Amino acid sequence: MAKVVTNTERTPAEICEGLGELGVATVHEAQGRTGLLAPRLRPIYEGAKIGGNALTCEVAPGDNWMIHVALEQARPGDILVVSPTSPCEDGYFGDLLAASAKARGIRGLVIDAGVRDVATLRSMAFPVWSKAISAQGTVKETLGNVQVPIVCAGAHIRPGDVIIADDDGVCIVPRVTAAKVLEAGRKREAMEEEKRALYAAGKLSLDVNDMRERLQRKGLVYE
Amino acid sequence: MAKVVTNTERTPAEICEGLGELGVATVHEAQGRTGLLAPRLRPIYEGAKIGGNALTCEVAPGDNWMIHVALEQARPGDILVVSPTSPCEDGYFGDLLAASAKARGIRGLVIDAGVRDVATLRSMAFPVWSKAISAQGTVKETLGNVQVPIVCAGAHIRPGDVIIADDDGVCIVPRVTAAKVLEAGRKREAMEEEKRALYAAGKLSLDVNDMRERLQRKGLVYE
Amino acid sequence: MAKVVTNTERTPAEICEGLGELGVATVHEAQGRTGLLAPRLRPIYEGAKIGGNALTCEVAPGDNWMIHVALEQARPGDILVVSPTSPCEDGYFGDLLAASAKARGIRGLVIDAGVRDVATLRSMAFPVWSKAISAQGTVKETLGNVQVPIVCAGAHIRPGDVIIADDDGVCIVPRVTAAKVLEAGRKREAMEEEKRALYAAGKLSLDVNDMRERLQRKGLVYE
Amino acid sequence: MAKVVTNTERTPAEICEGLGELGVATVHEAQGRTGLLAPRLRPIYEGAKIGGNALTCEVAPGDNWMIHVALEQARPGDILVVSPTSPCEDGYFGDLLAASAKARGIRGLVIDAGVRDVATLRSMAFPVWSKAISAQGTVKETLGNVQVPIVCAGAHIRPGDVIIADDDGVCIVPRVTAAKVLEAGRKREAMEEEKRALYAAGKLSLDVNDMRERLQRKGLVYE
Amino acid sequence: MAKVVTNTERTPAEICEGLGELGVATVHEAQGRTGLLAPRLRPIYEGAKIGGNALTCEVAPGDNWMIHVALEQARPGDILVVSPTSPCEDGYFGDLLAASAKARGIRGLVIDAGVRDVATLRSMAFPVWSKAISAQGTVKETLGNVQVPIVCAGAHIRPGDVIIADDDGVCIVPRVTAAKVLEAGRKREAMEEEKRALYAAGKLSLDVNDMRERLQRKGLVYE
Amino acid sequence: MAKVVTNTERTPAEICEGLGELGVATVHEAQGRTGLLAPRLRPIYEGAKIGGNALTCEVAPGDNWMIHVALEQARPGDILVVSPTSPCEDGYFGDLLAASAKARGIRGLVIDAGVRDVATLRSMAFPVWSKAISAQGTVKETLGNVQVPIVCAGAHIRPGDVIIADDDGVCIVPRVTAAKVLEAGRKREAMEEEKRALYAAGKLSLDVNDMRERLQRKGLVYE
């Protein structure tokens, strides 16, 4: 039943990187406020901002065996996405696996569980978004699946979907809509630039966005 | 039913700033260990330390419309305090609203919900104490109240009460007792300075505070 | 019933420091994946890495009196370990107690509760691993025990056991096995060094650790 | 600083009982979706449904002394409302206090903390809404306040406000609006009765409430 | 962007009912330990045990409008599955909607949020598995999707997949494998029946399942 | 490293049963408010009340193999106590294991993890105190320890210590003090009986326990 799907399709690098530069908040809005992973996933250091192809990996609780299997499937630019089959905070991933992941071209790790050796991971500049930091070791006994669709932190992710991650969290963009979302995100960014200038100059969003009439119609009263 | 109360009274700036300098732990003690907001509110960066007038804002879950309304009511030195009517972690506030808030003289944000664009907020040095960091977008559909008494993170807050916030969390000082609390806080600070010197010199608090007899009376045994 | 046990045995300093240098993840593995405290204990700043003798202290919820008592029992190199008798997030420990602890030679604090004055603790470089940061003050009314065996964050700790703590969390090594664990940890570290070099050079852990045959035998399928 | 306010005003019994009969969901709606206490408060047995005057009591964490003080202030028909000054799950209240509370005419207990002896409380038919069930004992060392305004489970409650509680949770109705809310609640109940009949007969709420046009205007598409 | 997909395929009733009778634990095992929804979903009363087609409904936080829309799409034997786009505990569903759902032939509700009027729902014998019980009302302002694939409580669910629910929780069986899983579940049930008899007669599972040799090989020691 | 300790000492049955009859709240008080397991352990049905010898079992996350091993060590009157080496909510124990446990004379299960088949467990009247109800299956791959000292839900438990459990939760009484605690508990029960009668007759605990003077001395003010 456990399987590794090889040679899955990827989203082109320039789309992944374009989405990564836009950042999580903008891309999440540009695709209609969808795709966000649960905010329990937090970066282990500030300032990382990446985009790449999802390399999906399903693991048993307290068992990191399949991460070793997944690394062989990596292509440069991938982001490893790990989800346990039941909630777990153990430290599935540390400096040894990070050394291997980096050597295979993996840009970062998204894991709905724990990681360890975080001081070393920070000094390696290997970014991780995780649910916990925990030194708890894991075993290598139970199979799982690599490069199959998974649910990670509440989001459905297929191999080759685009993962973007920054200080705001993690978002997934489906491969089939990624190009369109990139375009929409760039438009949104431009529009936000204009608004930001108006707000910084003291204009109120009530006026910039013509909200007053609708507020009144809904019944807002000023005393 | 939803309303905005305009022209509410403020606490004088020098009192707000004096309390802000004392910091949350000292002020909380100086007013009899009251007024602390729940510790789930954490700063998005270290080292911010502010005091200001509460500009209160009640919002619906997943809906940030009233924050736009509240910004118009801001006066320089205010601190925006936002509480949802039911628990929510969505990202109510990001860089655009921060640009507007800063332009209106708002010193920072206290929110029992989520914020986003935190990398930008950090680079703007706009301090936020929040329950979560989340890119999840919000809608503008449901009215709420601005500048009315609210409960935020377990504390009852009226417009114009003093909010102080630092790395230890957030505390509220009622407007009517603020001057007295400032005085008491300064006395406490002086007293702590003396004790700190004694402790740093190796004196035990058991002796500095004469605790030994009372410990013995309560029945403490040394083996 | 409440008692303070004086003159408990300690683990030699060179063992404590050796274990501290190895770090939590390595030591936890070296003793068979035991001894880890719950990952809810997080450091108040990054980069601290210590090893020392457990100075145990059991406190009532919202009551820090016994910490004052415990400080008298400190010897240079001790790490104060505080556990409440029921779950509590209050701020049991702040800059005054830290000044005293530092003067008594205590290397750091591990507490399954809250601390405050964290900006000052950071500037003092006094490391703390805690469950919360909270300014909530505590009383001095109820006795507890000092230097008796306690359960802290899910781990059983006796006075004089070795506590090690770093960015990965906190681990306890029993005094009676500490020397042996140190030796095992150093061997593990050397072995990991070799593997790290292989992984960084692009070798797969599947090959380095001969995992392929066992994966196949368990039934893993490649598509 | 700690005080007991005696002879506070009550809301008339018929209003309390009328609101209690309407139940939490109806009353909460009738007063504009306000007043609900956090849903972490759960009943210790099913089927209790009460309304009464809030007898407020603020306690220290792990300390139930003020509950003893509060019982003297009880009048028949009161509901005891207890809130700790910092989060606590200890068992503040058990069968002895319940025997006393019942003898004083108290209708039930709402507590943002723990209770114990729940098997006995169930057999006494003394209803409790609590955050936890815990046998953990409490001390009698620290003063608090009785019959002052408090925040309990996120709601601001004054002595003599109406508390209603049933299987859905707990709600507070301010004394000053209680009569009006009772009236509004009864109207709402009548209106719901009509709708229930239509729905039970198979009518869709889309039609009963004329929602189709507004859904279409907002852009809902049927495929 | 918001849409309602009509006339989606269903899984035949006898398969749904067969799976429902087997129950969650057996079916979850029979399909390789997959498909379980997070255990935070609990039944509002004991003893309900159902199987039916998923009628999926995605809602905004604090907004139950789309549930009204979903009811029109119901066919007898469906189970309504509701998931908010960000975490929410509000009371989305009460006795009125239950009256309508029942009239439309819906067998029960699975919701990763809150419900209310639970006393009435219990007396109606309308089963619900929810994350919370809360009287907090919701608005009707924001569109969502009906009968599209959703993630609910960590599981990916498509319209017409089979939902089974009992006192152990909730499980989803994909429509395309449902017949095969039913067969496998019945075999498993028969096999368990045999084992149960052996265990009840005092036989040890160590012997019934021949575990001793493998335990010894792994290194288990008896002292 | 993994081991099973056989033929551990037990506490005499009459002491276990005597403590079980007194119940958790009384016994916890009688031994100085110690020994309580965390209140996250809840009974799967109301009304069970047991006392027996701890049969301890340490398991890996998501792996119930050692429970099978532990059952062989059972003696009539034992209570099985299971603790995972890292937090886990999976369903470690169901109706098959319960059939075996019952046949071996085990009185109940205390587990800091999940259980399943709860409808059957209820109908068998096999009592369980657990942290979760979850159908999630577990594997049989990793060894652990049986009949060694463990920490379960925050309490340190040795084989042959007395476990008592009822609707209030779970408590451990060390074997060496069990007889003395039983005696103290019976005295306490008698004393409580007297007080209960006074309270039920309307006497205030303020008077029965002479609290008024101490309250006044601490500074309580009546307004």
Three-state DSSP class for D146? Answer: strand
Q: How far is CA E107 from CA A163, B158, D177, in A?
A: 38, 47, 40
- Contact at 8 Å (CB) between D165 and D79? yes
Give the per-residue pLDDT at C115: 98
Q: What angle do CA C142, C145, C148 make, to 5 degrees?
A: 165
Select the residue from C88, C92, C138 to test the D interface by mutation, using most D Cβ atoms within 10 A.
Answer: C88
User: Which pLDDT score is estimated for B25?
Assistant: 98
Q: Which of A33, A87, A154 sits opposite E151 (nearest CB)?
A: A154
What residues of chain E lie within 8 A of the CB of A1, using their CB?
32
pLDDT at position C30: 97
CA-nearest of B9, B2, B13 to B51 is B13
Low-confidence ranges of chain A (pLDDT < 50): none
Phi/psi of residue F176, nearest 5 degrees:
-70, -20
Contact B86 E90 (CB under 8 A): yes
Candidate from D99, D100, D133 with C-beta closest to F168: D133
Number of cross-chain residue pairs from A and C with Cβ atoms under 8 Å apart: 106
At C38, phi and psi to the nearest 5? Answer: -55, 140
Measured between CA atoms, the residue of chain A closest to residue C170 is A135
Q: Quick one: what percent of chain E has pLDDT higher than 70?
A: 100
**Tens digits of residue pLDDT in E69-100:** 999 999 999 999 999 999 999 999 999 999 99
Residue D199 has a pLDDT of 96
- Mean pLDDT, range E103-115, rounded to an integer: 98
- Give partners of F (≥3 CB pairs < 8 A): A, C, D, E
User: What is the DSSP code string of B64-114?
Assistant: -HHHHHHHHT--TTEEEEEEESS---SB---HHHHHHHHHTT--EEEEEEE
> Which residues make Cβ contacts (< 8 Å) with residue C213, sequence separation at least 6?
none
DSSP H or E run through F54: strand F50-59
Alpha carbon distances (Å) from E200 to B64, E196, F99: 60, 6, 5
The per-residue pLDDT for B1 is: 74
Q: Given this model, what pLDDT does residue C98 score? A: 98
Asked if C69 and B206 touch (Cβ cutoff 8 Å), the reply is yes
Q: What pLDDT does residue A139 have? A: 96
| Separation of alpha carbons C155 and C153, rounded Å | 6
Residues 6+ apart with CB under 8 A from E183: none
| E86 secondary structure, DSSP code | S
Select the residue of C1, C34, C151 nearest F155 (Cβ to Cβ): C151
CA distance F63 to F69: 12
Enumerate residues 6+ apart whose C-beta is below 8 A from B85: B58, B59, B60, B61, B144, D33, D34, E62, E136
What is the overall mean pLDDT for chain E? 97
Q: Residue D197: which H helix or E strand, with range? A: helix D178-200
Over residues C63-108, the pLDDT tens digits come to: 999 999 999 999 999 999 999 999 999 999 999 999 999 999 999 9
Mean pLDDT of E132-147: 97
From the CA of B89, how many Å to the nearest CA of chain C?
A: 19
Q: What is the pLDDT of residue C1?
A: 74
What φ, ψ does residue A139 adopt, rounded to 5°?
A: -100, 180
Q: How far is E39 from chain A (nearest CA, A)?
A: 10
Distance between CA atoms of residues E136 and E116, nearest Å: 8
> Is the CB of residue D96 less than 8 Å from the CB of residue F199?
yes
In angstroms, what separates the C-alpha of C104 from chain B's closest C-alpha?
6
The C-alpha of D154 sits at a distance from chain B's nearest C-alpha, in angstroms, of: 5
Indicate the helix (H) or strand (E) that contains F65. Answer: helix F65-72
Report the alpha-carbon distance of residue D143 to residue C139 in Å, rounded.
11
- The distance of A141 to chain F (nearest Cα, Å) reads 6
F contact set with A (CB within 8 A): 60-63, 85-90, 134, 136, 139, 141-142
Chain F residues inside the 8 Å CB shell of D91: 25, 168
Q: Shortest Cα distance from A166 to chain B (angstroms)?
A: 8
The predicted pLDDT at position F1 comes to 74
Mark whether E and A touch (3+ CB pairs within 8 Å): yes
Q: Between chains, do B155 and D156 touch, taking CB under 8 Å as contact? A: no
Q: Which residues of chain D have pLDDT under 50?
A: none
Residue C113 above 90 pLDDT?
Answer: yes
- Say if the Cβ atoms of A68 and C25 lie within 8 Å: no
Distance from CA of B15 to the nearest CA of A (A): 27
For range F30-51, the mean pLDDT: 97
Alpha helix ranges (H) inside chain A: 13-22, 24-30, 65-71, 95-103, 118-124, 178-200, 205-208, 212-218
Give, rounded to a whole angstrom, the gap between the first and last alpha carbons of chain F.
66
User: Which chain B residues contact residue E60 at CB under 8 A?
Assistant: 62, 139
Q: Which of C60, C85, C89 sits opposite D87 (nearest CB)?
A: C89
Q: Give pLDDT tens digits for F142-195.
A: 999 999 999 999 999 999 999 999 999 999 999 999 999 999 999 999 999 999
Chains E and C make contact, 3+ CB pairs within 8 Å: no
| Binary contact (D116, F168; C-beta < 8 A) | yes
Distances (CA, A) of C33 to C37, E220, F85, F96, F145: 11, 16, 9, 30, 13
pLDDT (0 to 100) of residue D160: 96
Which position has the token pair 């708002």?
Answer: B106
CB contact under 8 A, D135 and F36: yes
User: Quick check: do C and D touch, 3+ CB pairs under 8 A?
Assistant: yes
Which residue bears the tokens 């001790």?
C78
**Closest-approach residue (CA) in chain F for A135:** F86
Reported confidence tier of residue E217, pLDDT bands at 50, 70, 90: very high
Q: Which residue among D60, D89, D142 sits closest to C87, beta carbon to beta carbon?
A: D89
> What is the per-residue pLDDT across F184-213, written as a single tens digit (0 to 9) for each?
999 999 999 999 999 999 999 999 999 999
Which element (helix H / strand E) includes A50? strand A50-59
Q: Which of A28, A33, A59 to mutate to test the interface with E (most CBs of E within 10 A)?
A: A33
Residue E1 pLDDT level (bands cut at 50, 70, 90): confident
Is the pLDDT score of E55 beyond 80?
yes
| Residue among A39, A200, A221 whose CB faces B134 most closely | A39
User: What's the confidence (pLDDT) of residue A1?
Assistant: 74
Residue C11 has pLDDT above 90, yes or no: yes
Choose among B43, B83, B38: nearest CA to B64: B83
Which of F2, F4, F132 is facing E39, going by the closest CB pair? F132
Q: Digits of tens for pLDDT over chain B (223 positions)?
A: 799 999 999 999 999 999 999 999 999 999 999 999 999 999 999 999 999 999 999 999 999 999 999 999 999 999 999 999 999 999 999 999 999 999 999 999 999 999 999 999 999 999 999 999 999 999 999 999 999 999 999 999 999 999 999 999 999 999 999 999 999 999 999 999 999 999 999 999 999 999 999 999 999 999 9
Cβ distance of E137 and D219 shorter than 8 Å: no
From chain C, which residues contact B within 8 Å (Cβ)? 1-6, 65, 68-69, 71-72, 89, 91, 94-97, 99-100, 102-104, 114, 116-119, 122, 132-137, 140, 143
